[in-house]
Amino acid sequence: MSTTNEPSFRESVDMMFNRAVSVMDLPPGLEEKIRVCNATYTVRFGVRLRGQIQTFTGYRSVHSEHMEPVKGGIRYALGVNQDEVEALAALMTYKCALVEAPFGGSKGGLCIDPRQYDEHELELITRRFAYELAKRDLINPSQNVPAPDMGTGEREMAWIADQYRRMNTTDINAAACVTGKPINAGGIQGRTEATGRGVQYALQEFFRHPEDIAKANLEGTLEGKRVIVQGLGNVGYHAAKFLSEEDGCLITGIIERDGALVNPKGIDVDAVHAWIGKNGGVTGYPDAKHVAEGASVLEEACDILIPAALEGVINLRNADKIKAPLIIEAANGPVTAGADDILRNKGVVIIPDMYANAGGVTVSYFEWVKNLSHIRFGRMNRRQEESRHQLVVDELERLDRYLGDAWSMSPKFKDKYLRGAGELELVRSGLDDTMRAAYQDMREVWHGRDDVPDLRMASYIVAITKVAASYRAKGL
Ligand code: GLU
């Protein structure tokens, strides 16, 4: 089949939205109001680099302001365009609603290949872009709060935060203008790993439900499951690392820009990550077979497929060749609407992007709250919690002495129990709770209604219901 009849990314998102609202009972007009993107700002600005002025094109799209601030990352990639930014902004609206992060949806992008510029040049470009957005309140702690996305990370977020602060010297909440900052610039522990961590928590939750596991034609636990991951960027790397190190998954394939690595015995994620860092790609990595046509590995047999790179990678051309019975969308929009139909008819279970990669924005929410409250999580209660635990341990030790050989405390209990939760533990616990709760919400719709055959449709229904409720509360 050709790709010419493949809808654009934004059309794809709209089609998924329409599929869900067709079984919902929304008041007339509200459906259209929720679906459309409120505004997209395009900016073209010049930066003097290497002796000449270079012009860059950037976007910030606001999909829905039913809650403010609106939230969503800023992407640096050559392929960035208005259609893509709007699709991503729409997904942010639904994602935030699904995980109950109190934000509307937004997204930004800059058409740039960041690898073509050195650090100093990237700083000049980022600061100029941030200036253009901030002066229109498209970066603002109470109106629009960007975050990292493809091609950006904590370094860019630190520049953006600093630029905003320079322009708003008396704003006491300036740090909350962007999330995903480094710890020493107002960031929060666990934000960098958050999206990958969320993918792990999503899979852990999925595997708590034997009925759902059976729907994917799988059985047992995550232990020993064969996983293929596409993209070893921030999200793919952390997801693959945690799943292999903590849940016993076997990473049998890693797909990257310059081909794929395959090894049925499992691939050491950290070793490949370090190799890419040194050599710029996976080529030459010694402990796996290299496949030059990387995308073909999406079609290899495995238990779980994790597309963690670009949108549209599973499309009308390859959907019917996919062998994985379970796909978890760590990237935004990796499966097109057409491919989604094909896979659903084949019985493949897809854990949708809106849920699967919501870990990032969830921890962004925690960071934003931390910035507004000007205090790190755990600072007030950690030692108090420890001293209360100490009371219990003292009592148990007394019992231990009293009972002699008949009973003693398990060796690691005391250490583990005594340690009060620091920021990282609290962030992970908040994220885990969020991922579990959102899954339960989707699951209820998925299993509870005859007209909802898949998790994606369920996720849209849950999200749209929440957005609609908040419009209604506003009297719209
Ligand atoms: N860019 C990430 C996403 O697509 C994170 C957004 C955020 O933290 O605001 O969800």
3-state SS, residue 166: helix
pLDDT at 1 over 70: no
Task: Decide: 364 in ligand 1 pocket, CB within 6 A.
Answer: yes
Give the tens place of pLDDT for each residue, 233-282.
999 999 999 999 999 999 999 999 999 999 999 999 999 999 999 999 99
Task: Decide: 72 in ligand 1 pocket, CB within 6 A.
Answer: yes
Nearest CA to ligand 1 atom 7: 361
Task: Decide: 147 in ligand 1 pocket, CB within 6 A.
Answer: yes
Atom number in ligand 1 closest to CA 179: 8
Q: Candidates 149, 357, 370, 427: which one to mutate for ligand 1, based on the most atoms within 8 Å of Cβ?
A: 149
Residue 4's pLDDT is what?
58
Task: Decide: 40 in ligand 1 pocket, CB within 6 A.
Answer: no
Contact indicator for 366, 430 with CB cutoff of 8 Å: yes
Q: How far is the CA of 195 from the centre of ligand 1 (A)?
A: 8
Kindly tell me the burial class for residue 269, based on how many C-beta atoms sit within 10 Å of its own C-beta (0-12, 13-18, 19 or more).
Answer: buried
Nearest CA to ligand 1 atom 8: 361
Residue 419's pLDDT is what?
87
Average pLDDT of the segment spanning 327-345: 97
Rg of the chain taking only CA atoms, in angstroms: 23
Share of the chain above pLDDT 70, in %: 99
pLDDT at 376 over 90: yes
Give the residue among 37, 152, 123 at the shortest CA–CA distance from 83.
Answer: 37
Give the residue among 194, 108, 90, 104 at the shortest CA–CA distance from 156.
Answer: 108
Contact indicator for 180, 154 with CB cutoff of 8 Å: yes
Q: How far is the CA of 384 from the centre of ligand 1 (A)?
A: 34
Atom number in ligand 1 closest to CA 71: 9
Task: Tell me the domains of the chain and their CATH numbers.
Answer: 39-187 (3.40.50.10860), 194-358 (3.40.50.720), 360-443 (no CATH)
What does the alpha-carbon distance between residue 476 and residue 28 come to, in Å, rounded to a whole number? 11
Task: Decide: 106 in ligand 1 pocket, CB within 6 A.
Answer: no
Q: What is the mean pLDDT of the chain?
A: 96
Atom number in ligand 1 closest to CA 364: 8
Residue 461's pLDDT is what?
98
What would the two tokens of residue 145 be? 């709060």
Average pLDDT of the segment spanning 177-202: 98
Other Cβ atoms closer than 10 A to 6: 18
Give the tens place of pLDDT for each residue, 54-103.
999 999 999 999 999 999 999 999 999 999 999 999 999 999 999 999 99
More reliable by pLDDT, 5 or 310 = 310
What would the two tokens of residue 46 be? 């010049």
Residue 421's pLDDT is what?
87
Task: Decide: 151 in ligand 1 pocket, CB within 6 A.
Answer: no
- Give the global pTM: 0.96
Average pLDDT of the segment spanning 27-36: 93
Atom number in ligand 1 closest to CA 363: 8
Residue 2's pLDDT is what?
44
Give the tens place of pLDDT for each residue, 341-365.
999 999 999 999 999 999 999 999 9
Contact indicator for 20, 461 with CB cutoff of 8 Å: yes
Q: How far is the CA of 320 from the centre of ligand 1 (A)?
A: 30
Contact indicator for 65, 38 with CB cutoff of 8 Å: yes
Q: How far is the CA of 75 from the centre of ligand 1 (A)?
A: 10
Q: How far is the CA of 228 from the centre of ligand 1 (A)?
A: 23
Q: How far is the CA of 138 from the centre of ligand 1 (A)?
A: 15
Q: Candidates 195, 310, 366: which one to mutate for ligand 1, based on the most atoms within 8 Å of Cβ?
A: 195
3-state SS, residue 247: helix
DSSP 56-96: EEEEEEEEE-SSSSEEEEEEEETT--HHHHHHHHHHHHHHH
pLDDT at 3 over 60: no
Give the tens place of pLDDT for each residue, 105-133.
999 999 999 999 999 999 999 999 999 99
Task: Decide: 149 in ligand 1 pocket, CB within 6 A.
Answer: yes
Atom number in ligand 1 closest to CA 73: 1
Q: Which residues are catalytic?
A: 107
Task: Decide: 73 in ligand 1 pocket, CB within 6 A.
Answer: yes
For residue 453, the one-letter residue type is P
Q: Residue 31: which residues within 8 A CB-CB, separation 6 or more?
A: 21, 24
Residue 209's pLDDT is what?
98
What does the alpha-carbon distance between residue 308 and residue 311 come to, in Å, rounded to a whole number? 9
What does the alpha-carbon distance between residue 296 and residue 190 come to, in Å, rounded to a whole number? 33
Task: Decide: 179 in ligand 1 pocket, CB within 6 A.
Answer: yes
Task: Decide: 357 in ligand 1 pocket, CB within 6 A.
Answer: yes
Question: Which residue's structure tokens are 């108090």?
Answer: 384
Task: Decide: 459 in ligand 1 pocket, CB within 6 A.
Answer: no
pLDDT at 420 over 70: yes
Atom number in ligand 1 closest to CA 145: 9
